Amino acid sequence: MNKLIVAAVATVVLLSGCAASTSTTGSEAPETPAAAAAPTKAATAKAAPTKAAEAAPTAGQANALESAKSYLETQAFSAKGLIKQLSSKYGEDYALADAKWAVAHVGANWNEQAAKSAKQYLDGQSFSRNGLIKQLMSAYGEQFTKAQAIYGVHAAGH
């Protein structure tokens, strides 16, 4: 029984200390050791980085992103192919870092891009299934990954 009374008194003291620290009188109450040891939700949220904290894009990144979006509206590209197009001196001539940033932020579904590319190839030429997969993966072709190329060929009905 004595332990229960001591625990109840300690709880009341602790709670009254917390209430005093949140009063609106303007005076600051000293922090209890238990409160000092446990981080608050607000402190934890401030420590964790968020996407909103990401720096705004540079002018080069923003322009490269707009170019990437424009290309994807009219043609199919792999991520590597689009980076190459954006950074090539024969293409847009963006800095490689800006081209990579743009491709990472353009929001493309690369599997769907592979499917679109496979359909474009089949509309103009005949390919075996394996030949089309190789073309989509080729360093001289579209530069899709193997998984993307297989997806694209399957989605194109081949």
pLDDT of 9-48, one tens digit each? 333 333 344 444 444 444 444 444 444 444 444 444 444 4
- Clarify whether residues 119 and 100 are in a common domain: no
- Going by C-alpha positions, the residue among 93, 85, 100 that lies closest to residue 143 is 85
Measure CA 91 to chain center: 26
Q: Is 152 inside any structural domain?
A: yes
Q: Are residues 97 and 114 in the same domain?
A: no
Residues 6+ apart with CB under 8 A from 7: none
Domain assignment of residue 115, yes or no = yes
CA dist., res. 87 & res. 82, Å (int): 8
Could you tell me if residue 129 is inside a domain?
yes
Q: Flag whether 98 is in a domain.
A: yes
Sequence-separated (6 or more) residues with CB below 8 Å from residue 115: 151, 152, 155, 156
Give me Rg for the CA atoms of the chain.
Answer: 29
Same domain, 101 and 120: no
pTM (whole model) above 0.75: no
Phi-psi region of 31 (alpha: psi -120 to 50; beta: other; left: phi over 0): beta
Amino acid at 146: K
pLDDT in tens, 38-94: 444 444 444 444 555 678 999 999 999 999 999 999 999 999 999 999 999 998 999
Would the pLDDT of 117 be above 80? yes
Residue 133 lies in a domain: yes
Q: What is the C-alpha separation between 50 and 46, in angstroms, rounded?
A: 9
Is 9 inside a domain boundary?
no
Cα 11–13–15 angle (5° rounding)? 65
Co-location of 127 and 98 in the same domain: no
Q: How many domains does the chain have?
A: 2
Q: What is the pLDDT of residue 108?
A: 98
114 and 150, same domain (yes or no): yes
| 87 within some domain | yes
* Joined tokens for residue 80: 């590597």
**Which residues are CB-contacts of 4 (< 8 A; sequence separation ≥ 6)?**
none
Whichever domain contains 139, its CATH number is 1.10.10
Residues 89 and 126 in one domain: no
Residue 104: what pLDDT?
Answer: 98
Q: Is the domain of 86 the same as that of 122?
A: no
Same domain, 104 and 87: yes
pLDDT tens-digit readout, 120-133: 999 999 999 999 99
* Structural domain of 158: 109-158
